[in-house]
Amino acid sequence: MATLDGRVAIVTGAGQGLGAAEARALAAAGARMVLNDLPGAALDDVVEQIRADGGQAVACSGDVAEWATGEALVKTAVDTFGGLDVLVNNAGVLRDRMVFTMSEQEWDTVIRVHLRGHFVTTRFATAYWRGRARTTGRPGYARIVNTASEAYLLGSAGQPNYAAAKGGIVSLTLATARGCLKHGVRANAICPRARTSMTGQLMGAAPDGPDPMAPERVAPLVVHLAGPSGERITGEVFVVHGDVVALLGPPTVRAVFHAATGQWTAAELDAALSTEFAADPPHPGYVCEETLPLAESTFGQAP
């Protein structure tokens, strides 16, 4: 269904994996595409494939965390297709290591590409949409789909940089949804599981026949959120893979403690909290493991 006819979409990290699958699906739904990745044949191949299938697409390569790249992406969308309606942030890298052996560069690279990369594109897209709303006097059509990960829910031990970046992306998504609602922006985040070059070592080889963890299984939700059907959805976080779309709820308050005299003493704190934290050895309590069983029939581990 051409639900996005006439719309203009940017997809970052579109040269392969999830980004390429999302770009193809958005183009198939009628969107005119501006695709970003680092310069190379992979990005050009996706552009040519979309064109061969009858869609419209141009490449705007560059480091997504660079200010100039974010500016160029929006400018390319406006100059080439007359506007911008959808932003899908997908670009990312991995530098997995335990926190006690992680280098400064490994930390900075992942935070830069994922979190700063999401911010840079969001900054220029929302500025464009804010300006458009002020010019027309009414909110316009604007969608952001950000890419988070269950790593931030689980506190992935070997991915402190990645988990931190993905948690930051969720917070950025919520702040964008709240801060830009009056300009027509709908911002949501997905936590996808998909078999790509970035996750290949974790997930292993694809099975014979249809792959339940193929990136193409994630793309329909992205199209839904980017389309007219996403009008009433904002500030939400989804887990998506295979035949699963799970809507996450906000964190809950587990317990509340009050000082008897209005000010805590060491003895009172010990008495109040010792009953809540009695496990030995302790187990991290702010970990969401409820998403893990969602794909037991197709895949036994979370990314």
pLDDT in tens, 71-100: 999 999 999 999 999 999 999 999 999 999
Question: Coil, strand or helix: which one is 76?
Answer: helix
Mean pLDDT score of the chain: 92
What is the Cα 122 distance to its own chain's centre?
12
pTM above 0.75? yes
Mean pLDDT of 270-285: 90
- What Cα–Cα distance (Å) separates residue 11 from each residue in 2, 66, 67, 74? 18, 16, 16, 11
pLDDT, tens digit, 9 for 90 and up, residues 130-145: 999 999 999 999 999 9
Is position 149 annotated as part of the catalytic site?
Answer: yes
pLDDT above 90 covers a percentage of the chain that reads 80
Looking at this protein, which amino acid is placed at residue 294? Answer: L
Please report, as a single letter, which amino acid is at residue 248. L
The Cα 66–Cα 55 span in angstroms is: 28
Find the range with the poorest average confidence among 178-187, 188-197, 203-212.
203-212
Q: What confidence category does residue 242 fall into, taking pLDDT thresholds of 50, 70 and 90?
A: confident
Contacts with 128 (C-beta within 8 Å, 6 or more apart), sequence order: 74, 78, 84
Nearest to 74 by CA among 61, 65, 83: 83
137-158 average pLDDT score: 96
What mean pLDDT is predicted for residues 49-65?
A: 97
Question: What is the three-class DSSP state of 250?
Answer: coil
pLDDT of residue 151: 93
At 33 the pLDDT is: 98
Fill in the DSSP letter of residue 182: G
H runs (alpha helix) in 82-218: 104-110, 117-136, 151-154, 160-179, 200-203
**Residue 204: band (very low, low, confident or very high) from pLDDT cuts 50, 70, 90:** low
**Cβ neighbours for 31, distance < 8 A, ≥ 6 positions apart:** 4, 7, 8, 9, 55, 85, 86, 226
Checking if the pLDDT of 121 tops 90, the result is yes
Give residue 2's pLDDT: 66
Q: Is 162 a catalytic residue?
A: yes
Query: For residue 299, what pLDDT is reported?
Result: 43
Q: In what order do the strands lie in the sheet with 237-241?
A: 57-59, 32-36, 8-12, 86-88, 142-147, 185-192, 237-241, 244-247
Closest CA to 111 of 165, 58, 66: 165
Distance (Å, whole) CA 18 – CA 90 = 7
pLDDT surpassing 90 at residue 173: yes
Confidence of residue 197 (pLDDT cuts 50, 70, 90): low
Distance from C-alpha of 132 to C-alpha of 134, rounded to nearest angstrom: 5
- Check if 182 is active-site: no
pLDDT band at 203 (very low <50, low <70, confident <90, very high): low
Q: For 9-18, 196-205, 212-221, which range has the lowest pLDDT when averaged over its residues?
A: 196-205
Choice among 128, 141, 149, 152 that is catalytic = 149
Closest residue by Cα to residue 193 from 221, 167, 173: 221
166, 197, 229, 297: the active-site residue: 166
Whether residue 93 contacts residue 109, with contact meaning beta carbons closer than 8 Å, is answered with: yes
